[in-house]
Structure 1
Amino acid sequence: MANKSVFASLMGRLLPRSDAQNHEGAPAYALTPRHALAQLAATGTLHRTFYADAREQLDQVLALAREVEPGFIARTAVHARERGHMKDMPALLLALSSTLQSPDFAPAFRRVVDNGRMLRSFVQIMRSGAVGRKSLGTRPKRLVQEWLETASDVEIMRAAVGQDPSLADVIKMVHPKPADPSRQALYGWLIGRPHDATALPETVRAFEAFKRDPAAPVPDVPFQMLTALPLTREHWAAIGEKAGWHMLRMNLNTFARHGVFEVDGFAERVAARLRDPEAIRRARVFPYQLMAAYTMAGTGVPAVVREALQDAMEIAVGNVPVVPGHVVVCPDVSGSMASPVTGYRAGGTTAVRCIDVAALVAAAVLRANRSARVMPFEQDVVKVDLNPRDSVLTNAQKLAAIGGGGTNCSAPVERLVAERAKVDLVVFVSDNQSWVDAARHPHQGTGLMQAWAKLKERNPEAKLVCIDIQPYATTQAQERADILNVGGFSDAVFDAIAAFAADGSSGADRWVEEIERIVL
Structure 2
Amino acid sequence: MSFASKLFGSLRPATVNKDGYPAYTRSPEEQYVQMLLTNTMNQTFYADQHELLDNAAELHQSMAAGNPVFMAKALVYARSEGFMRLQPLFGLAVLSSARPDLFSQVFQQVVRIPSDLSDFLTILNGLGRGEGGRAVKRQVKLFLAGVSEYWALKYNGRGRGYSLGDAIATAHPKPEDLKQQALFRYLRGQEANLALLPQVEAMEKLKTAATEEEQLAWIEAGKLPYATVTGVIKPTLAVWNSILYQMPTFALLRHLNALQRAGVLEDKRNLDYVSGTSDGSAGPAQSPDSAVPLRDSLPSGRAAGAAGCLAGSGGPHVR
TM-score by length of 1: 0.51
Report what 1:150 is aligned to: 146
Structure 2 residue runs of 5 or longer lacking an equivalent are 277-282
State whether structure 2 residue 234 is matched by structure 1 residue 230.
yes
Quote the residue 1:124 is aligned against: 122
State the match for 1:515 in structure 2. Answer: 310
How many residues are aligned here? 292
Are the aligned partners of 1:18 and 1:27 in contact in 2 as well (CA < 8 Å)? yes
Q: CA deviation at 1:210?
A: 1.4
Structure (1/2) with the larger helix percentage: 2
Q: 1:44 to 1:274 in 2, by over 3 A?
A: farther
Question: 1:113 matched to which residue of 2?
Answer: 111
1:166 corresponds to: 163
- Which blocks of at least 5 consecutive residues in structure 1 are unaligned? 1-9, 289-356, 358-465, 469-484, 488-508
Match of 1:486 in 2: 302
CA distance change for structure 1 residues 240 and 91 in 2, over 3 Å: closer, same or farther?
A: farther
Equivalent-residue separation in structure 1 for 2:285 and 2:73 (angstroms): 31
Structure 1 residue 161: Cα displacement: 4.3
* Matches of 1:33 and 1:257, distance apart in 2: 54
Deviation at 1:47, TM superposition (A): 1.6
1:92 aligns with 2:90: yes
Instruction: Note the alpha carbon deviations across 1:235-264, whole angstroms, 9 max, x for none.
Output: 233333233444334433443344332344
Equivalent residue letter for 2:242 = A
Superposed displacement of residue 82, structure 1: 0.9
**Is the 2:248–2:284 Cα contact (8 Å) retained in structure 1?**
no
Q: How does 1:41-60 map to 2 (within 5 A)?
A: 41-60=36-55
Q: Which residue of 2 aligns with 1:103?
A: 101
1:278 partnered with 2:289 = yes
Matched with 2:188 is 191
Q: Deviations over 1:276-329 (max 9, x none)?
A: 22332xx4x2179xxxxxxxxxxxxxxxxxxxxxxxxxxxxxxxxxxxxxxxxx
Q: Of 73, 77, 80, which residue of structure 2 is paired with 1:79? A: 77
Partner of 1:251 in structure 2?
Answer: 255
In the TM superposition, residue 165 of structure 1 has moved relative to its aligned partner by 1.8
Match of 2:199 among 189, 200, 203: 203
Change (3 A) 1:236 1:25: farther
Aligned ranges 1:52-451 → 2 under 5 Å = 52-65=47-60, 66-67=62-63, 68-129=66-127, 133-161=129-157, 163-199=160-196, 201-213=197-209, 214-216=212-214, 217=216, 218=219, 219=222, 220-221=224-225, 223=227, 226-270=230-274, 271=276, 272-280=283-291, 283=292, 285-286=293-294
Change (3 A) 1:27 1:247: same
Deviation at 1:139, TM superposition (A): 1.0
1:15 to 1:150, Cα distance in 2 relative to 1, 3 A: same
Q: Is the CA contact 2:153–2:228 (under 8 Å) kept in the aligned structure 1?
A: no
Contact 1:223 1:239 in 2 (8 A): no
In structure 2, the residue corresponding to 1:226 is in which secondary structure?
helix
Task: Mark the CA change 1:18 to 1:127 in structure 2 (over 3 Å): closer, same or farther.
Answer: same
The two structures, once aligned, show a CA RMSD in angstroms of 2.7
**Superposed displacement of residue 86, structure 1:** 0.9
Cα deviations across residues 409-440 of structure 1 (Å, max 9, x unaligned)?
A: xxxxxxxxxxxxxxxxxxxxxxxxxxxxxxxx
Q: Is the 8 A contact 1:157 1:222 kept in 2?
A: no
Is 1:29 equivalent to 2:24 in the alignment?
yes
DSSP-derived class of the 1:486 partner: helix
Q: Which has the higher strand share?
A: 1
